């Protein structure tokens, strides 16, 4: 079976063609979404039908109103991923006085939809919360891989001639640097900083072939408006429930270093671009809490602790602006207009969220999980079919997550279960996590369509997501063996463990610090080869501090020969550990 995608379903996201900005007279100012290039191509026909059709008006608070127009679809528009047929389009719009334009949602509409009230509510939420803005240039540039290359070549051709000193000399002129030239230079410098400071290389990396151009186009969009380059990163959910991986349930030195890494990147951008940049960290712990066996209140405490940690790291509020935080609860409940007409009966379907592990549930968090799945969830039956058909990409993710969760939940969650039961539960959890993660990604695509999307997971880096490293290579080395700590582990070249699944370990005498499972440090101490333990550093966060124990002095037997049985061979230990891992 050819490789397919799990992102198929019947949710409002899957009926969405795009989000757009337009002027009062109908000029398309920007469009984002999976069918953005198609919408741009058909926009004249779409707007013509929009003008000729009847519009209904729904008043909101603060003087806003939603304008809804339903009309016949335009020929050649691609249908939704579901097998159902849709012959109507629906446009919902709100006029934004701040940007002097309409912001709208374009999607398919059908009288057969079972929850039309919910669809209206969630699509209204999309246009109220989305960050899409008009582009500065009049021509709408669509961020799709096959069009970015031509766009970028055109831009760089202009730069080449602007900087050609030989041509300037021949013409006898020295023109002042243009604004467009300055913007191109800044865009390139920010892209280079990302390459050097954050980007993580993937096994099948497409950064050089297409991803770099995509990234630069996103940066340029902010630079053209002289605004901060906004990035979004789903991360910092909560500490792993596995004692074998972490030293505790609260943020420690690992989280601190990760925040420093992100902050240093933003500060480097500020040195070359005055508006700077920001990274919006969206906590995703509540999304997955019932998959990883962590109570909702524990997740909330971790989120609060992370934000407190970041504030404590910098004395001045201006230094704290590099990173902002929010959770999935904030995505839905921070907009008064969104919750004004919400009805809980819309999300009573028990199939919305499958909870593989029983936890202490927060009512607000559970509501958020259901809203994510109701608004952007995939078809689980389609996912199961792909797994059973052994679709290569789907099966790889499914098996990888199953193995990971089998290790992560080995402690209290899996206590007393048989091996077969553990494997079955891990597989159920993996499928549910894949469904939730994809739905969450879909939601962020709609709410932050113009933001640069970062991820702690490995990606091919062609866009729209880019994998990053939270630990600088020159400062932190990822290892799985203390005795062989001076050797790099190739498996971590493409996927660095996260702070919430690992622990920081310092070894006296070593300049570099290490990232590993907590159990590795504990085993090293228990073996007697190292002394030390957990250091609960209030200021810089907890970590393991180890020191090599004094070497064992070999004893002589009665004949004066050296007894070598008590001598510890580091090299033999390394080889032995490698064989057993």
Q: Distance (Å, rounded) from C-alpha 109 to C-alpha 107?
A: 7
User: Contact 65/172 with Cβ under 8 angstroms?
Assistant: no
pLDDT of residue 157 exceeding 70, the answer is no
Residue 203 and residue 94 in one domain: no
pLDDT at 553: 56
Residue 187 and residue 97 in one domain: no
Residue 245 and residue 283 in one domain: yes
Q: Does residue 306 lie in a domain region?
A: yes
Residue 163 and residue 29 in one domain: no
β-pair type (88-96, 101-109): antiparallel
Angstrom distances, CA of residue 72 to CA of 17, 34, 50, 164: 15, 21, 9, 53
Residue 462 and residue 480 in one domain: no
- 274-294 tens-digit pLDDT: 999 999 999 999 999 999 999
Give the total number of structural domains in the chain.
3
Q: Distance (Å, rounded) from C-alpha 375 to C-alpha 365?
A: 15
- Which tokens sit at 576? 């032995």
pLDDT band at residue 554 under the 50/70/90 scheme: low
Q: What's the number of CA atoms in the CB half-sphere (13 Å) around residue 15?
A: 26
- 558-570 tens-digit pLDDT: 555 544 333 333 3
Residue 91 and residue 169 in one domain: no
Task: Give the CA angle between residues 503, 327, 447 to the nearest 5°.
Answer: 125
Strand order in the sheet with 530-535: 476-478, 513-516, 503-507, 543-548, 530-535
Residue 182 and residue 331 in one domain: yes
pLDDT at 176: 54
Q: Distance (Å, rounded) from C-alpha 261 to C-alpha 471?
A: 7
Q: Distance (Å, rounded) from C-alpha 461 to C-alpha 440?
A: 19
pLDDT at 552: 59
pLDDT at 558: 54
Q: What is the mean pLDDT of residues 429-450?
A: 97
CATH number of the domain to which 269 belongs: 3.40.50
User: Contact 502/519 with Cβ under 8 angstroms?
Assistant: no
Count of C-beta atoms within a 10 Å radius of residue 177: 10
pLDDT of residue 49 exceeding 50, the answer is yes
- 337-383 tens-digit pLDDT: 666 678 888 998 888 999 999 999 999 999 999 999 999 999 999 99
Q: Does residue 385 lie in a domain region?
A: no
Indicate the residue among 467, 499, 523 that finishes a domain.
467
User: Does residue 33 come out as left (phi exceeding 0), alpha (psi in the -120 to 50 range) or beta?
Assistant: left
Q: What's the number of CA atoms in the CB half-sphere (13 Å) around residue 314?
A: 17
Q: What percent of the chain has pLDDT over 70?
A: 84
Q: What is the mean pLDDT of residues 400-429?
A: 89
How large is the angle between the packed helices 363-376 and 116-129, nearest 10 degrees? 100
User: Contact 394/23 with Cβ under 8 angstroms?
Assistant: no
pLDDT at 574: 39
Indicate the residue among 97, 129, 161 that finishes a domain.
129
Q: Is 39 helix (H, G, I), strand (E, B) or coil?
A: helix
Q: Distance (Å, rounded) from C-alpha 263 to C-alpha 276?
A: 11
Indicate the residue among 467, 495, 521 that finishes a domain.
467
Domain span at residue 284 reads 151-335+344-361+448-467
- 65-74, 115-124, 482-491: segment of lowest average pLDDT: 482-491
Residue 481 and residue 452 in one domain: no
pLDDT of residue 402 exceeding 80, the answer is yes
pLDDT of residue 323 exceeding 50, the answer is yes
Count of C-beta atoms within a 10 Å radius of residue 116: 12
Q: Does residue 290 lie in a domain region?
A: yes
């Amino acid at each position: 079976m050819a490789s397919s995608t799990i992102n198929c379903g019947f949710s409002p996201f899957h009926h969405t063609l795009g989000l757009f900005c337009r002027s009062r007279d109908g000029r398309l100012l920007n469009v984002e979404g999976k069918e953005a290039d198609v919408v741009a191509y058909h926009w004249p026909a779409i707007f013509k039908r929009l003008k000729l059709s009847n519009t209904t008006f729904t008043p909101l608070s603060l003087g806003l109103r939603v304008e809804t127009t339903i009309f016949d679809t335009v020929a050649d528009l691609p249908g939704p991923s579901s097998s159902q047929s849709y012959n109507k389009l629906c446009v919902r719009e709100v006029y934004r006085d701040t940007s002097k334009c309409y912001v709208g949602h374009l999607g398919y509409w059908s009288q057969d939809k079972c929850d039309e009230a919910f669809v209206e509510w969630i699509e209204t939420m999309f246009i109220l919360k989305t960050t899409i803005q008009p582009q500065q240039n009049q021509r709408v540039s669509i961020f799709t891989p096959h069009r970015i290359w031509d766009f970028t070549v055109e831009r760089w051709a202009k730069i080449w001639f602007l900087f050609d000193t030989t041509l300037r000399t021949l013409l006898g002129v020295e023109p002042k640097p243009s604004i467009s030239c300055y913007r191109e230079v800044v865009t390139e410098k920010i892209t280079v900083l990302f390459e050097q400071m954050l980007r993580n290389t993937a096994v099948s990396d497409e950064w050089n072939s297409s991803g770099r151009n995509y990234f630069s186009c996103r940066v340029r969009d902010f630079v053209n408006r002289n605004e901060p380059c906004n990035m979004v990163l789903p991360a910092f959910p909560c500490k792993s429930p596995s004692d074998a991986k972490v030293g505790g349930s609260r943020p420690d030195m690992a989280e601190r270093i990760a925040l420093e890494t992100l902050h240093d990147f933003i500060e480097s951008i500020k040195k070359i671009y005055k508006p700077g940049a920001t990274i919006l960290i969206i906590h995703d712990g509540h999304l997955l809490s019932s998959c990883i066996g962590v109570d909702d209140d524990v997740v909330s405490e971790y989120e609060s602790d992370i934000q407190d940690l970041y504030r404590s790291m910098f004395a001045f509020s201006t230094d704290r602006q590099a990173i902002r935080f929010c959770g999935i609860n904030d995505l839905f409940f921070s907009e008064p207009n969104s919750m004004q007409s919400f009805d809980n009966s819309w999300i009573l379907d028990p199939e919305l969220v499958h909870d593989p592990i029983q936890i202490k549930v927060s009512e607000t968090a559970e509501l958020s999980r259901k809203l994510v799945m109701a608004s952007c969830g995939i078809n689980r039956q389609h996912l199961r079919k792909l797994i059973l058909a052994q679709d290569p990409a789907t099966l790889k993710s499914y098996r990888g997550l199953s193995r990971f969760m089998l290790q992560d939940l080995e402690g209290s969650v899996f206590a007393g279960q048989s091996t077969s039961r553990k494997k079955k539960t891990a597989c159920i959890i993996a499928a549910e996590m894949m469904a939730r993660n994809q739905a969450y990604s879909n939601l962020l695509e709609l709410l932050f369509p113009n933001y640069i999307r970062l991820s702690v997971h490995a990606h091919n880096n062609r866009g729209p997501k880019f994998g990053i490293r939270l630990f600088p290579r020159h400062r932190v080395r990822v290892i799985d063996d203390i005795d062989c700590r001076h050797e790099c582990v190739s498996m971590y070249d493409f996927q660095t463990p996260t702070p919430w699944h690992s622990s920081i370990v310092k070894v006296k005498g070593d300049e570099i610090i290490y990232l590993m499972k907590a159990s590795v440090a504990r085993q090293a101490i228990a073996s007697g080869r190292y002394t030390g333990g957990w250091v609960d550093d209030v200021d810089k966060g907890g970590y393991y501090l180890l020191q090599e124990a004094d070497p064992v002095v070999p004893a002589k037997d009665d004949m004066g020969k050296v007894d070598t049985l008590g001598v510890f061979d580091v090299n033999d230990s390394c080889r032995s550990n490698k064989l057993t891992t």
